């Protein structure tokens, strides 16, 4: 893909610093010149530590060497139109770009529109599993977090050119399905006989009652005279299918669509578990001892080898993991899983599987830490054991998809988070998603009021050289960060960076809007500022969509404020 103009300009700055460093040192190799945003924006737009890297070899203090390199680079005539200043501070070489550089960034956004920042196909295939919940109940509030994190990462990866397959594992091969079947049977019997006992270890939530009624309406009382061995598989399967279908509906209501829903039970029935074990055997990773089949996990750092097939022929818990991830690694270069906080022990197990198949490090686990939900300042008490759960559907009903998804990604997965239901509903600037959406709607309102001819000229990038004021340049600089921000989301598996970025864009636009009238008396300036507003609207909309959040054109409070 052809580099955009701002990237090309930055490459020229790097080349000038490289040439200046070589001329100053006179001998030896120069490390690649990396330009990054300094921690203190007052120091400039970009900074290089090349002088710090070379000071020892040059036998000069870093600040002295940085000053010499900066002085030489500043004399490069090719930088005259794009660089305002090159200065040495504390051994760093700081570069302040000229307004023309940021004006070109705005032009780039207007030209590329919704594709601004999109990456070319990267040639990488990723399997991304997230949100998976046991098929024994509806999705609850904590699944909302993993769904939001995973779907936003998937969207960002695809935007950056990565081929992503999103996956959900249905854990339907264990004893929990029998527990589900007994629980559903009890609810089924209680429809006719409310005194029928409920199993002590059953799933007590009311969500099983509609399923039980559906089964009784379909089949009547035919199961009441059967033995448990006869009715249990029927109830377990029916309950699983109904609950998984409900989970799918909720995920889709939440704006999340999975490419694959993989049944663990189906892995066993299809022979995939045997295939995975045979693949290990072919690599010499298994052996027979004490009547069982073992995996040489100590070969990959485990403290002991693990049984994968018991002496009676039954696979252990490790066998379906081997099968599932063997399949993933045939289809993808990398497998990423986002799991809840109770899965720390899973990390080493999956690392062993990847190494055993000759792809060490190809399976990555992201642990989403604990989440506390509050309403009106009080913790919402939840207990699965007693059937007290806050379902994801309840959350959607209460605060909406947009607020829930934005709040769920505001913290990194590795940080505990507090989900404030009251704040998520507030239509004030204290509510971050409302604040960002309000900014987008405000721009849409400005554009709607502008004459169509003026809008057309602004979209064409006309008169952008008029953008020289501090607030204008600050906003343009922020917009130019969008491609790097999305890449950082992918590299760090951190949608929180995009949520924070969207808030910063909205804040910078508000400061620009308060300082300067967009549609004023000076037509060229109005065209330029409208172009900056349109570029901001494009970036905000794209950032929100990558987070699974809508970008409204109109908001009731905005119209009320403007009509007041």
CA angle 140, 144, 149 (to 5 degrees): 150
The domains of the chain, with CATH numbers, are: 5-97 (3.30.1360.70), 176-243 (no CATH), 432-563 (1.10.730.10)
Tell which residue, 358, 367, 357, has the closest CA to residue 336: 367
For CA atoms 243, 245, 250, 251, give the dihedral sign. positive
Dist CA 251 CA 68 (whole Å): 59
Mind giving me the DSSP string for 98-111? -HHHHHHHHHHHHH
- Run of H or E residues at 224: none
Give me the mean pLDDT over the 265-294 stretch.
Answer: 95
Give the pLDDT confidence score for residue 1 in this predicted structure: 32
Residue 308 near residue 286 (C-beta atoms within 8 A)? yes
CA atoms lying within 13 Å on the CB side of residue 37: 9
Q: How far is CA 336 from the centre of its chain?
A: 12
Which residues lie closer than 8 Å to 338 by C-beta, 6 or more apart? 128, 129, 130, 131, 146, 149, 150, 153, 366, 368, 413
Q: Which of 28-37, 81-90, 230-239 has the lowest mean pLDDT?
A: 28-37
Counting other chains too, the contacts that 80-87 makes at CB distance below 8 Å and 24 or more residues apart are 82/9, 82/12, 82/13, 83/13, 85/44, 87/44
Q: Whole-number mean pLDDT of the chain? A: 93
Dist CA 333 CA 413 (whole Å): 23
Kindly state the DSSP code that residue 2 receives in the 8-state scheme: P
Kindly state the DSSP code that residue 515 receives in the 8-state scheme: H
Residue 38 near residue 94 (C-beta atoms within 8 A)? yes
Give the pLDDT confidence score for residue 4 in this predicted structure: 53
Give the pLDDT confidence score for residue 342 in this predicted structure: 80
Give the pLDDT confidence score for residue 390 in this predicted structure: 92
Residue 502 near residue 540 (C-beta atoms within 8 A)? yes
Tell which residue, 246, 251, 313, 268, has the closest CA to residue 172: 268
Residue 3 has pLDDT above 90, yes or no: no
Dist CA 475 CA 439 (whole Å): 13
Q: Which of 20-29, 95-104, 245-254, 352-361 has the lowest mean pLDDT?
A: 20-29
Residue 113 has pLDDT above 60, yes or no: yes
Residue 2 has pLDDT above 50, yes or no: no
Residue 450, SS3 per DSSP = coil
Give the pLDDT confidence score for residue 507 in this predicted structure: 98
Dist CA 355 CA 344 (whole Å): 18
134-145 tens-digit pLDDT: 999 999 999 999
318-360 tens-digit pLDDT: 999 999 999 999 999 999 999 988 887 788 889 999 999 999 9
Give me the mean pLDDT over the 287-304 stretch.
Answer: 94
Give the pLDDT confidence score for residue 564 in this predicted structure: 45
Residue 91 has pLDDT above 80, yes or no: yes
Measure Cα distances from 378 to 373, 381, 397, 418 in Å. Answer: 8, 9, 19, 11
Tell which residue, 465, 462, 458, 468, has the closest CA to residue 535: 458
- In percent, the amount of the chain with pLDDT more than 90 equals 87
Give me the mean pLDDT over the 449-473 stretch.
Answer: 97
Mind giving me the DSSP string for 397-422? HHH-HHHHHHHHTSS-TTS-EEEEHH
Give me the mean pLDDT over the 18-26 stretch.
Answer: 91
408-431 tens-digit pLDDT: 999 999 999 999 999 999 999 999
Dist CA 253 CA 29 (whole Å): 56
Dist CA 43 CA 47 (whole Å): 8
Dist CA 248 CA 296 (whole Å): 38
Give the pLDDT confidence score for residue 270 in this predicted structure: 94
Measure Cα distances from 465 to 98, 215, 384, 457 in Å. Answer: 11, 70, 61, 14
Dist CA 24 CA 19 (whole Å): 9
Give the pLDDT confidence score for residue 346 in this predicted structure: 81
Residue 129 near residue 89 (C-beta atoms within 8 A)? no
Which residues lie closer than 8 Å to 146 by C-beta, 6 or more apart? 130, 131, 338, 339, 340, 368
């Amino acid at each position: 893909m052809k580099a955009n103009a701002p990237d090309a300009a930055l490459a020229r700055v790097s080349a000038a610093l490289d040439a200046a460093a070589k001329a100053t040192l006179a001998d030896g190799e120069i490390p690649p010149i990396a330009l990054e945003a300094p921690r203190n924006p007052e120091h400039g737009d970009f900074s290089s530590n090349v002088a710090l890297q070379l000071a020892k070899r040059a036998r000069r203090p870093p600040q002295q060497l940085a000053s010499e390199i900066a002085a030489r680079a500043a004399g490069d005539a090719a930088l005259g139109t794009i660089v305002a200043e090159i200065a040495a501070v504390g051994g760093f070489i700081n570069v302040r770009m000229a307004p023309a550089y940021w004006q070109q960034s705005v032009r780039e956004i207007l030209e590329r529109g919704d594709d601004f920042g999109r990456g070319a196909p990267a040639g990488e295939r990723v399997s991304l599993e997230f949100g998976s919940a046991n098929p024994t109940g509806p999705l609850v509030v904590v699944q909302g977090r993993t769904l939001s994190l995973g779907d936003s990462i998937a969207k960002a990866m695809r935007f950056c050119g990565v081929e992503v397959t999103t996956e959900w594992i249905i854990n339907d091969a264990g004893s929990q399905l029998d527990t589900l079947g007994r629980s559903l049977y009890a609810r089924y019997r209680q429809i006719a006989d409310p005194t029928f006992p409920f199993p002590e270890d059953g799933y007590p939530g009311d969500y099983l009652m509609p399923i039980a009624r559906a089964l009784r309406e379909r089949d009547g009382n035919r199961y009441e005279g059967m033995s448990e061995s006869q009715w249990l598989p029927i109830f377990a399967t029916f309950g699983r299918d109904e609950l998984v279908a409900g989970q799918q509906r909720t995920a889709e209501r939440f704006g999340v669509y999975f490419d694959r829903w993989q049944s663990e039970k189906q892995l066993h029935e299809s022979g995939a578990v045997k295939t995975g074990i045979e693949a290990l055997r072919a690599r010499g990773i298994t052996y027979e001892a004490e009547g069982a089949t073992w995996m040489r996990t100590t070969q990959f750092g485990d403290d002991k080898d693990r049984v994968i097939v018991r002496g009676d022929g039954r696979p252990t818990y490790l066998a379906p993991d081997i099968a599932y991830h063997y399949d993933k690694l045939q289809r993808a270069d990398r497998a990423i899983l986002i799991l809840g906080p109770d899965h720390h022990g899973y990390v080493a197990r999956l690392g062993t599987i990847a190494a055993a198949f000759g792809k060490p490090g190809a399976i990555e686990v992201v642990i989403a830490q604990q989440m506390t939900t509050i309403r009106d300042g009080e913790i919402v008490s939840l207990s699965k054991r007693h059937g007290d759960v806050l379902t994801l559907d309840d959350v959607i009903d209460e605060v909406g998809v947009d607020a829930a998804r934005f709040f769920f990604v505001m913290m990194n997965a590795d940080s505990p988070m507090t989900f404030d239901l009251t704040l998520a509903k507030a239509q004030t600037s204290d509510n971050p998603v409302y604040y960002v959406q309000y900014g987008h709607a405000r721009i849409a309102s400005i554009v709607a009021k502008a004459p169509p001819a003026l809008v057309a000229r602004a979209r064409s990038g006309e008169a952008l050289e008029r953008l020289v004021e501090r607030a204008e340049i600050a906003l343009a600089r922020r917009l130019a960060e969008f491609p790097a921000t999305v890449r950082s989301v992918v590299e760090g598996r951190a949608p929180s960076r995009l949520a924070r970025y969207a808030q910063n864009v909205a804040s910078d636009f508000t400061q620009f809007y308060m300082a300067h009238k967009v549609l004023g008396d000076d037509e060229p300036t109005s065209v330029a500022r409208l172009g900056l507003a349109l570029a901001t609207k494009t970036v905000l909309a794209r950032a929100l969509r990558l987070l699974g959040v809508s970008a409204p054109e109109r908001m009731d409070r905005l119209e009320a404020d403007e009509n007041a």
